[in-house]
Structure 1
Amino acid sequence: MKRRHSKVGIVFRFAGAITMLFLFSGLAFSLAYWLTRWFYSHHEVALPEYLLQLVNWALGILILILLAGTVNLVTVPKQRKVWIEMMDALKLMAKGNFNIMLDRDKKYHGQIGEFVQSINDMAHELKQVELLRQEFISNVSHEIQSPLTSIRGFASTLQREGLSPEEQRHYLSIIEKETTRLSKISDNLLKLTTLESEHQQLDLKRYRLDTQLESIVLACEPQWLEKELELELELEETTVEANEEMISQVFVNLLHNAIKFTQVGGSIKIAIHHSPNEVTVMIADSGIGISKEDQLRIFERFYKGDKQRTRTADGSGLGLSIVQKIVELHHGAIKVDSQLNKGSSFEVTLPLP
């Protein structure tokens, strides 16, 4: 559609240029005709007819050149001013200043106006990217600072004299837990960066999705048995074409979250539903739920939601971002439906081969 509009714009600009050329030519040659007619009426000129016509044409061309020169003198300073403004704007953007807005009064039109608007759009997009970068750095710093503070504090405590072996083991276990947390943040950041790379290649193969889900449930058995959770499985035989390791990470993350945020004695349901061209995997729990506000941002990096959810576990807020990115790389979709204190349901839809 944009290409079509561009072609139409070129045609209109070309037609406008031809029209202006005809108007100026007509004006120039008409003026030349009246000037020579006036001159011939006051002076006797003994020249052949073809020479008189040649003089008319020469005078018309001269007037046309003078008109073009006059228009150029009027418009060139304005165009030079526009180019200077655009070059200054580009220099500021090169230095990292994206607070730029050219042509606030919409006084430029045509190709120059389109170019000016493109610079404004580029500055706006770069500003958004810069804001995201600053937010990302702030979030990473915050996430890393918490475990580092704990490690530094308990390492200092271990240097005190008179600590019993039990106290030493307790403080060392906390330090070990915090270093594991740091390592997990680092691993997740690396995974997310890799997934967002334009050169990410998917090693696709056909495999049984229902068998994969059964294996994940069995691997998580100690966690859901510890909380006395009831698991219900509705797994139809399903073959998909995907990266098995990546898709496994998706469902491991979703199942761990379901176990983590479901109270003791609750329930979790995992089901597979088919449609002609795609398959949907639903993982639903009877846990604490997610507020409507948090559902809008739950897939953002480092977003942890309300305190009711975050106080139950030490997450980094990167898991669901990784899940969403993996699903998108497989041309699928993920959505959440939840109510506070009634549970959550995540649905992952993947295309069928």
Structure 2
Amino acid sequence: MNISKLPGHDHSGDPFSKIIDNINYMSKELGQIEQMRQEFVSNVSHEIQSPLTSISGFARALKNENISAEERVHYLSIIETESERLSKISDNLLKLTALESSQHPFELQEYRLDKQLQQIVLRCEPQWTAKQIDMNLALSKAVVTADKDLLDQVWMNLLNNAIKFTPDHGTIGIAIHVDEEKLEVAVSDTGIGVAEEEQLHLFERFYKADKSRNRNQGGSGLGLSIVKKIIDMHGGTVSVISQPNLGTTFTVALCAGTVPRSNKTLK
């Protein structure tokens, strides 16, 4: 979309100058929104096309009657993996869309955050034990008022991210720090880390810090976007400190007695 700019008026007393300036401002904003929309559609198309290409290619390969039983199982395994990846992309897109909707339900309740994190670690136990990762927990007793289901998604995404990029026999730590003003949860790992220039983009949709990573390991680039959106809804912040080959720490900070910035969607 090419939105032309109206010529401005140089005379300060011109009654139309402010109107024209406002029109030009809206034109610029619309142009930026259209560019973002096009980039979003392009990114979605690219992410969906990749697994579809693999599924289609290996499905055609299965029609070959001369392939061995071992090859057939291998191809079917790839089709299954790519189908799961496609399903996850779709699921995450739906989550983001729902979170950005003003009608998204936002259910506040008071509960024990330390117990919630313990449950998340147990739910992910098969993944981290398979890689023989040491799990260090420093979970001080903490009570939070928040949307439990949404924060479940935050901790699950952060922990899965840490497991994904931590090598075998590595270490993951989860710690809670509470003071009078805020509550912090830090999820750290001894994984591959992220370069400083890429850290600013980690929470952008579809951004992948290392384009050369194995695609099955790298994910869709939507998980951290979901994390940030949920924490924003709670009026908190999420930050990252990382160094290549030395690990990464994500820190979520929530105000004491957490409440959302806007209660328009509260029930």
The TM-score normalised by the length of structure 1 is 0.70
Indicate the structure with greater strand content: 2
Tell me if 1:306 matches 2:245: no
1:202 corresponds to which of 95, 101, 106: 106
Distance in structure 1 (CA, Å) of the matches to 2:189 and 2:218: 20
Tell me if 1:215 matches 2:122: no
- 1:118-157 aligned at under 5 Å gives the runs 118-157=22-61
Give the equivalent residue in structure 2 for 1:85. Answer: none
Distance in structure 1 (CA, Å) of the matches to 2:200 and 2:11: 40
How much has 1:242 moved relative to structure 2?
1.0
Distance in structure 2 (CA, Å) of the matches to 1:341 and 1:123: 45
The superposition leaves residues 77-136 of structure 1 with CA deviations (integer Å, 9 ceiling, x where unpaired) of xxxxxxxxxxxxxxxxxxx54232431x63454542211111011001111100000000
Q: SS of the residue aligned with 2:207? A: coil
Mapped contact 1:99–1:127 kept (Cα < 8 A): no
Q: SS of the residue aligned with 1:313? A: helix
Mapped contact 2:236–2:252 kept (Cα < 8 A): yes
Tell me if 1:236 matches 2:135: no
* 1:283 partner letter: V
* 2:153 partner letter: Q
* 2:204 partner letter: E
Give the equivalent residue in structure 2 for 1:98. Answer: 3
- 1:74-85 aligned at under 5 Å gives the runs none
* 1:136 partner letter: F
* 1:133 partner letter: R
Tell me if 1:285 matches 2:189: yes
Give the equivalent residue in structure 2 for 1:260. Answer: 164
The superposition leaves residues 47-99 of structure 1 with CA deviations (integer Å, 9 ceiling, x where unpaired) of xxxxxxxxxxxxxxxxxxxxxxxxxxxxxxxxxxxxxxxxxxxxxxxxx5423
How much has 1:308 moved relative to structure 2?
5.5
2:150 corresponds to which of 217, 236, 246: 246
1:329 corresponds to which of 233, 243, 265: 233
The number of aligned residues is 257
Give the equivalent residue in structure 2 for 1:162. Answer: 66
CA change 1:106–1:306 in 2 (3 A) is: farther
Mapped contact 1:228–1:264 kept (Cα < 8 A): yes
Mapped contact 2:58–2:79 kept (Cα < 8 A): yes
How much has 1:320 moved relative to structure 2?
0.4
CA change 1:345–1:328 in 2 (3 A) is: same
Distance in structure 1 (CA, Å) of the matches to 2:214 and 2:154: 20
Give the equivalent residue in structure 2 for 1:29. Answer: none
Distance in structure 2 (CA, Å) of the matches to 1:331 and 1:110: 43
Distance in structure 2 (CA, Å) of the matches to 1:157 and 1:107: 71
CA RMSD of aligned residues (A): 1.6
Tell me if 1:191 matches 2:99: no
Mapped contact 1:247–1:326 kept (Cα < 8 A): yes
CA change 1:186–1:311 in 2 (3 A) is: closer
How much has 1:314 moved relative to structure 2?
4.0
Q: SS of the residue aligned with 2:7? A: coil
Provide structure 1 residue ranges, at least 5 long, that are not aligned to the other structure: 1-95
Give the equivalent residue in structure 1 for 2:261. Answer: none
Distance in structure 2 (CA, Å) of the matches to 1:308 and 1:126: 34
Indicate the structure with greater helix content: 1
Provide structure 2 residue ranges, at least 5 long, that are not aligned to the other structure: 258-267
How much has 1:310 moved relative to structure 2?
5.2
* 2:43 partner letter: N
Higher Rg of the two aligned structures:
1
